[in-house]
């Protein structure tokens, strides 16, 4: 359906106009009756609405255990040897275990990993909600097209 015919239908369903606006309405109707200067062909030949989606994917997330080795983390520390020597000199004996030989998972990487996963899950849920909303709107639109006398159409 062309835009001109759609505009004519919308104007025809509008409330009655006053006499001051009648000449403006006549001018609009004359302009719609003329052939347009630019004719844009339809993009698709199929019937119905067209939805386009652009998806941009980030680089794959590396697993937390990719850089693990058989050597325990208390032997293979993640800071330089000079820093290890400095900490050994300035840290009291009773506090050396946690400072010089950190054990466990790097919590920053774990937090970033969880943040990315939660964002992805939220995005997926929002997309599902949007798809469901569009599906319901399309069903309502089809129902109105089959039975225009239906309430709410």
Both tokens assigned to 112: 């970033």
Contact between 77 and 102 (Cβ < 8 Å): yes
The tokens 């798809």 sit on which residue?
A: 131
Q: Along the 153 residues of the chain, how does pLDDT read in single tens digits?
A: 567 776 666 666 666 556 668 888 888 888 888 877 777 776 666 677 778 888 787 777 777 666 666 666 656 655 566 777 787 888 887 777 766 666 666 788 889 999 999 999 999 999 999 999 999 999 988 888 888 887 877
Query: In sequence order, what E strands does 2-124 have?
Result: none
pTM above 0.75, yes or no: no
Q: Round to whole Å and give the CA distance between 51 and 133.
A: 14
Both tokens assigned to 128: 């599902």
């Amino acid at each position: 359906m062309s835009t001109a015919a759609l505009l004519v239908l919308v104007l025809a369903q509008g409330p009655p106009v006053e006499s001051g606006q009648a000449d403006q309405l006549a001018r609009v109707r004359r302009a719609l009756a003329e052939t347009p200067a630019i004719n844009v062909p339809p993009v698709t030949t199929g019937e119905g609405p067209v939805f386009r989606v652009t998806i941009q994917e980030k680089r794959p997330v590396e697993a937390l255990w990719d850089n693990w080795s058989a050597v325990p983390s208390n032997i293979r520390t993640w800071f330089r040897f000079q820093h290890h020597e400095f900490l050994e000199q300035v840290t009291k004996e009773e506090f050396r275990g946690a400072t010089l030989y950190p054990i466990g998972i790097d919590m920053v990487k774990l937090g970033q990993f969880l943040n990315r996963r939660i964002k992805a899950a939220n995005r997926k849920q929002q997309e599902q909600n949007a798809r469901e909303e569009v599906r319901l709107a399309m069903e309502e639109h089809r129902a109105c097209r089959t039975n225009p006398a239906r309430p709410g159409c």
